[in-house]
Structure formats: structure tokens, C-alpha cells
């Protein structure tokens, strides 16, 4: 039985409809950024056939968010193959601010994020990059440092040619609980025991990652405090 969370105080809302909405955001790697029809489009700037893993990138919201939050956004897949992912609860491995000059420079290569000098939870929810991912589609939740696959759920997102966007994404981080749904369909819930993969993470930064040549659009990113309904505790 999935726990039931309600939205409390709004901590952040961003329409992602114009260049001013991403002022202060931090891009690691290279990407093309465009705004059309009040949507925020992201795609690779480098050809993955030439540059390989250097063609991928991560784009960070500059805000440090607390624990016990609900993250929501609208997602529009535009071009594939590719992969889309969200990082959350991201900090330095020793609690540093993620943008601290004491941390190594990151340039969008995946090992820098799962086995580098940062801790984070990350959820890949549009995994259409490789043939095996397209043949059996899942949403994968990992905990890093360490690249630990901690949960997986079925991915209902269709290929781009069949997509009827927007898709409403909802991600809950509440102490050790992580819950994810698309269009109100629950897909996975995992509870960290704080032992198997290290201590439970608290707050931190949120970032999006795409693997080239994926192109996608985003809108209406919001973060609310998460309120757990009392009747669902300890279920």
C-alpha cells in the first residue's frame, strides 16, 4: 500500500517559460536551451557520435531544498533515443554545498555524479537510450555515492511518436521514503533503512539530466512541503 502524501506550503514554483526563469541555474556540460510556446526545451549541443559521453549534461536549480518535499513538473518528450533523469537531495559527500569550489569540477559525465564527490538520489524515468531499455521499460531509482539501484517500477511513457504530453511527474522525498508517479499513477515507493546504502539523505539540490540525442521540454516545476496523512504511517 502506497503512503498518501499531501502538498503543504509551496516552497518554489517556476513556470519555466522564459530565459529569466532559469537565471542562476547551473549547467554542467554543454546543452542547447530554448523557449517556445511557454515551454523550456533542452537538447544536446554536441554530437554523441563524435563526443560520446561528453555530449551529455546536467542542469541544476540553484535552490537548496529541505527534506520532506513533493517535486512536480510537466514533461514533454520530443526526440529520442535518449534518457531523462532527475537528481534530488544532492550535496557534497561531506555535506558541502553542491556548488562548493572545494568539490571537483563536473562536466556532465555520469560517473562524476554517481561515483564522484557528491551524494544524491536520482531517478531515471524516460529510459529509451539503449535497445534493452526500450525493450523492457522501467523507472530506476538509484542512491549514490555508489550507483546503488534501490528500486524500479514500470515506465508507462510511450515512444515520442505516441506521446500525448504533458505528462505530470510527481516525486516525493520524505525522510527515507521516495515515491514516484506519472499522471497520478503510482510507479514505485522505496524506504531507505539508513544502513544498507549508508545514512538517509536529507535536503539538497535538484537537477535534470538528459543523455544525447534526447530532446525534451519542461514546464511548471514546483516544490511543496510534503505532509504524510496520519492514517498511512507505519503501513
* Local mean pLDDT, 10-residue blocks, the chain (235 residues): 93 98 98 97 97 96 98 98 97 97 96 97 95 93 97 96 97 98 97 97 98 97 95 53
C-alpha–C-alpha distance, residues 116 and 119, integer Å: 8
Partners of 141 in the β-ladder: 123, 151
- Output the pLDDT for position 130: 87
- Output the pLDDT for position 230: 83
In the structure grid, which three cell numbers stand for residue 155, read together? 515506465
- Output the pLDDT for position 65: 98
C-alpha–C-alpha distance, residues 15 and 7, integer Å: 18
Helix (H) or strand (E) holding 210: strand 205-211
Q: In the sheet where 118-128 sits, what is the strand order?
A: 26-28, 57-60, 205-211, 82-92, 118-128, 138-144, 148-154
C-alpha–C-alpha distance, residues 45 and 184, integer Å: 33
- Output the pLDDT for position 232: 54
Partners of 74 in the β-ladder: 168, 219
Domains, in order of start, for the chain? 5-232 (2.60.120.200)
Which of 42, 32, 39, 43 shows the shortest CA–CA distance to 18?
39
Do the beta carbons of residue 169 and residue 184 sit within 8 Å? no
Amino acid at each position: 500500500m502506497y503512503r498518501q502524501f499531501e502538498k503543504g506550503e509551496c516552497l518554489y514554483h517556476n513556470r519555466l517559460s522564459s530565459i529569466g526563469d532559469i537565471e542562476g541555474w547551473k549547467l554542467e556540460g554543454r546543452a542547447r536551451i530554448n523557449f517556445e510556446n511557454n515551454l523550456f526545451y533542452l537538447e544536446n549541443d554536441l554530437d554523441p557520435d563524435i563526443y560520446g559521453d561528453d555530449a551529455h549534461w546536467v542542469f541544476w536549480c540553484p535552490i537548496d531544498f529541505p527534506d520532506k518535499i513533493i517535486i512536480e513538473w510537466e514533461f514533454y518528450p520530443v526526440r529520442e533515443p535518449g534518457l531523462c533523469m532527475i537528481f534530488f537531495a544532492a550535496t557534497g559527500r561531506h555535506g558541502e554545498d553542491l556548488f562548493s569550489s572545494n568539490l571537483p569540477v563536473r562536466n556532465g559525465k555520469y560517473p562524476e555524479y554517481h561515483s564522484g564527490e557528491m551524494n544524491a538520489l536520482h531517478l531515471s524515468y524516460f529510459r529509451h537510450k539503449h535497445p534493452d531499455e526500450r525493450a523492457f521499460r522501467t523507472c530506476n531509482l538509484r542512491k549514490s555515492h555508489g550507483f546503488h539501484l534501490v528500486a524500479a517500477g514500470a515506465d508507462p511513457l510511450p515512444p515520442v511518436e505516441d506521446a500525448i504530453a504533458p505528462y505530470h511527474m510527481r516525486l516525493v522525498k520524505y525522510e527515507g521514503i521516495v515515491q514516484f508517479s506519472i499522471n497520478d499513477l503510482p510507479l514505485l515507493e522505496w524506504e531507505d533503512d539508513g544502513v544498507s546504502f549508508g545514512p538517509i539523505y536529507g535536503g539538497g539540490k535538484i537537477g535534470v539530466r538528459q543523455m544525447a540525442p534526447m530532446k525534451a521540454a519542461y514546464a511548471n516545476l514546483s516544490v511543496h512541503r510534503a505532509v504524510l496523512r496520519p492514517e498511512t504511517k507505519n503501513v
